[in-house]
C-alpha cells in the first residue's frame, strides 16, 4: 500500500480542481497512482454530470479579446461553481477558446455558438473538473470608423467594452475603465427607458409630497431629483473616476469624441447563489470517512 502524502493530494487537487477528500480517496483507491486516480475520477464525474448540470455557477471568469486594429472585440462570461475551480488551467484555456470562437465568428448568440464541438468540450470539462460549467453570455462589438476601448480588471471578473467615435486608444481605455468601476446604466440621460424615468419620478413625488411643502416647490424638487438620477445612471453625466472634478461627458467633448455603445460584464451579477454551510459539509465528509 502506497503512502498518500499531502503533496500528492495537493497535486491531484491542482490538476483536477476537485475537493481535497475526493482527491485523497481517489489516490487511496489507485494505490498512489496519480494517472489512474485521475482516470477513475473522470469516470466518476461522468456518472454525476447530469446532477451537476443543475448546480449554481456564480463564479468564473471573463474572456477578453480585442483586435489589433481596435475595430473589433469580444467578451464572454463563463461560470463555474467555485472560485478555486475557476483558477484551473483547463478551465481558463476553455474560457479563452470560447472567446476566440466568438471573436472569429462575430456570433452574438452564445447558445448558437455553443452548439456542436464547443459544447462537447464543455461537457468533457465538467466531467474532468467535477463542477458544472455554463457559458452564460457574450458580447461582440465592432466599428468601421471609430475604435473599441476595453478594460479588464486584474481579477478577470469585471470588464467593459466601449465603442467610440473620435478619440484615441488611451481615451478608450479610460472610458472603459470608468464603465467597469461606475457601472452606468446607459450612455446618456436620453437613453434611460421611459418606464424607468416614470418609476423614479413616482418615487420622488411621493417623497417630496411627504415634506408638506407647496405644490410648486414639490414640482421643482421632483424635477431636480429626476435630473440628478438621470445624470447618476448615465455615462456622460457621471464624474470621471480618475478626475471627479470633470464628467465623462466633458472628457469626451474635450477630445471631440462620442461614446456610441457600452457593454459591461461582472461575473455572477444577478445570479442567486446558494449559501453553503461549510461546517456541515466538513462534518459530513468526516462522518463518511
> Please, are residues 274 and 268 in contact by the beta-carbon 8 Å criterion?
no
The cell 467610440 sits on which residue? 164
CATH of the domain at 262: 3.30.479.20
Q: Is residue 65 located within the same domain as residue 207?
A: no
For residue 24, is pLDDT > 70?
yes
Determine the Cα–Cα distance for residues 46 and 119; give it in Å rounded to an integer.
15
pLDDT per residue as tens digits for the range 98-115? 999 999 998 878 888 888
Count of structural domains within the chain? 3
Q: Is residue 148 located within the same domain as residue 262?
A: yes
Contacts of 173 (CB under 8 A, 6+ apart): 149, 150, 151
Q: Enumerate the H helices of 53-168 as residue ranges.
A: 83-86, 89-105, 110-113, 117-129
pLDDT of res. 57 = 64
For residue 288, is pLDDT > 60?
no
Pairing of the two strands 243-247 and 258-266: unpaired
As a whole-number percent, the residues of the chain with pLDDT over 70 amount to: 86
The domain in which residue 48 lies consists of 6-52
Asked, for residue 65, whether it belongs to a domain, the answer is yes
Q: Is residue 103 located within the same domain as residue 130?
A: yes
Q: Is residue 118 located within the same domain as residue 261?
A: yes
pLDDT per residue as tens digits for the range 232-249? 999 999 999 999 999 999
CATH of the domain at 38: 1.10.8.10
Of the pLDDT bands very low, low, confident and very high (cuts 50, 70, 90), residue 70 is very high
Q: Is residue 236 located within the same domain as residue 158?
A: no
Q: Is residue 150 located within the same domain as residue 220?
A: no
Q: Is residue 143 located within the same domain as residue 262?
A: yes
pTM of the entire predicted model: 0.73
Q: Is residue 40 located within the same domain as residue 163?
A: no
Cell reading at 61 = 471568469
Asked, for residue 278, whether it belongs to a domain, the answer is no
pLDDT per residue as tens digits for the range 256-287? 999 999 999 999 888 766 544 445 544 554 45
Determine the Cα–Cα distance for residues 189 and 197; give it in Å rounded to an integer.
10
Range in 33-37, 51-55, 158-162 with the lowest mean pLDDT: 51-55
pLDDT of res. 51 = 46
pLDDT of res. 47 = 39
Q: Is residue 70 located within the same domain as residue 17?
A: no
pLDDT of res. 62 = 97
**What is the average pLDDT across 73-81?**
95
Determine the Cα–Cα distance for residues 251 and 243; give it in Å rounded to an integer.
10
Amino acid at each position: 500500500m502506497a503512502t498518500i502524502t499531502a503533496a500528492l493530494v495537493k497535486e491531484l487537487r491542482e490538476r483536477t480542481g476537485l475537493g481535497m477528500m475526493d482527491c485523497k480517496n481517489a489516490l487511496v483507491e489507485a494505490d498512489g497512482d496519480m494517472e489512474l486516480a485521475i482516470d477513475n475520477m473522470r469516470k466518476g464525474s461522468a456518472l454525476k454530470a447530469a446532477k451537476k448540470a443543475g448546480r449554481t455557477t456564480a463564479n468564473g471568469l471573463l474572456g477578453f479579446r480585442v483586435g489589433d486594429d481596435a475595430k473589433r472585440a469580444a467578451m464572454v462570461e463563463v461560470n463555474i461553481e467555485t472560485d478555486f475551480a475557476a483558477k484551473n488551467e483547463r478551465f481558463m484555456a476553455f474560457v479563452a477558446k470560447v472567446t476566440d470562437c466568438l471573436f472569429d465568428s462575430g456570433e452574438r448568440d452564445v447558445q448558437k455558438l455553443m452548439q456542436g464541438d464547443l459544447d462537447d468540450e464543455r461537457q468533457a470539462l465538467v466531467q474532468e473538473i467535477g463542477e458544472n460549467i455554463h457559458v452564460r453570455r457574450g458580447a461582440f462589438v465592432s466599428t468601421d470608423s471609430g475604435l473599441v476601448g476595453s478594460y479588464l480588471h486584474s481579477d478577470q471578473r469585471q470588464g467593459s467594452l466601449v465603442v467610440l467615435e473620435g478619440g484615441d486608444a488611451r481615451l478608450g481605455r479610460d472610458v472603459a475603465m470608468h464603465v467597469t468601476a461606475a457601472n452606468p446604466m446607459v450612455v446618456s440621460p436620453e437613453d434611460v427607458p421611459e418606464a424607468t424615468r416614470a418609476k423614479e419620478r413616482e418615487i420622488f413625488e411621493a417623497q417630496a409630497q411627504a415634506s408638506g411643502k407647496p405644490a410648486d416647490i414639490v414640482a421643482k424638487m421632483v424635477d431636480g431629483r429626476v435630473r440628478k438620477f438621470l445624470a447618476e445612471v448615465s455615462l456622460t453625466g457621471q464624474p470621471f473616476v480618475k478626475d471627479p472634478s470633470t464628467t465623462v461627458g466633458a472628457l469626451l467633448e474635450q477630445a471631440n469624441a462620442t461614446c456610441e455603445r457600452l457593454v459591461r460584464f461582472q461575473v455572477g451579477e444577478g445570479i442567486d447563489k446558494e449559501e453553503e454551510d461549510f461546517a456541515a459539509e466538513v462534518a459530513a465528509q468526516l462522518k463518511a470517512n
